[in-house]
A and B are shown apart, each in its own frame.
Chain A
Amino acid sequence: MSARAAIVDWARACYEDLRFSEARRWLEGGKGRKACGHLPVYAPRELVHASGMLPVGIYGGGDMLEIIRGDAFYQSYICHLPRSVVELAQSGRLDFLSGVLFPSTCDVIRNLSGMWKVLYPGLYVRYLDLPQVPDPGLATRFWKKELQTLVHDLGEVSGAPADEATLRASLGVFNEMRQLIRELYRARREAPWRVPSEELYLLLRAGEVVPVEAWLEKTRGYLKAAERDAAPIKDRSRVVVVGAFCEQPPLGLIKTIERAGCYIVDDDFLLGNRLLSREVPLAGDPLTNLAEALVRHAVKTSVLYEPNPEGKKALMKERVEAAGADGIIFAAASFCDPALLDRPMLRAGAEAHGIPCIAFKYAENSGQFQQFREQAGTFADAIKLWGGISA
């Protein structure tokens, strides 16, 4: 087996492993090691890392977990993610976590933080209100204070509070991670036949649950191998997938979109892992820098307020141009407020610029992909027949 295939296999194993074995192994590998989980979309993992703990992204059970207990907590008109998250927790699969962070993604995740407090009273739980105000000064001051509180709390949990040095080091490491992710995305954008979306996705999922240092090594290896790949170029339409930033689509759906005739050249899967679009400066006060990085340089997303009235109208055009794409697939989880409420505005903006679009909903445990295959296939063909952006 090639080195590259071995890396993909490793990533796949991480993705499929709902017991988080790699994380558990890391914990056992040292005295007093702890782990702290977080829900989508964005959490400042650097701070967890700087406190000596392993940050673990919790993305539910996808289509790999049968929900027995989780459904007792949620009505049918709420998205699937919190059910599988609760299922993971109630079945003991998350028992290695010493804390969980809940960012302000939407009201479901918000309320889940409160449920966690009731269900696991001994655990550290913190809700993170991301800064939303347009004024960067106000927002930075607010967010920095939040980060300070978080650092303090995480220090109590881990017993090894972060200091300026460790903070700076962690910022550096996660800068590297984000940079490598951007490299992966660039490689795929430039030559998607070399970097299948399935492989990219598996690597990113692995990055959520393993120590970042290990991930960097494996991913660098993958990228080197991929860039040398002589895979055949296929005549596929280039699409951007928008809206799948929280509850993740099943892997089968991602594969289906590509198999149906598309290259996914940009997406917002696991957006949190690259929400900061620029390097966080290492000189100066780490928390101020990290706070500013989010306030000033966050990628546009449905979970953050858009202060510019023209922002949503232009966003899809910017995304499509940056990716050299032909069209957009709006893919949202059923009942997902952020994605579905934004969609009419984003889509109107796209269509005003003549960008072809299709839209559908999925659930993390969608079992049949027939309708997606048909839609994506027809879309890919239409783009080839009638061209991409026409305005």
Chain B
Amino acid sequence: MAPRITEGVTLRVNGAAVTMPTGASVAAAVLAAGVTRFRRSVLGEPRAALCGMGICFECRVTIGGRAHERSCQIVCAEGMDVRTDD
């Protein structure tokens, strides 16, 4: 059995605190926070992570004020401020 994970990283997704295992991706954190819409497409449709490997750009979110960050390629860091599109 895998040991229970006691350490973790706490970050904010749209203002809500989420604790993830160390090494988890921001995309995983967004989904763990119950957020299904990562961004709005050009015509305003809800979009979320698709390829999981950083090539589709659908998982883009704003991290610490920086826009267009591909959340599936970024590891969660303590205190990160993640925002998805409204």
Do A and B actually bind? no
Interface of B toward A, CB cutoff 8 Å? none
Interface of A toward B, CB cutoff 8 Å? none
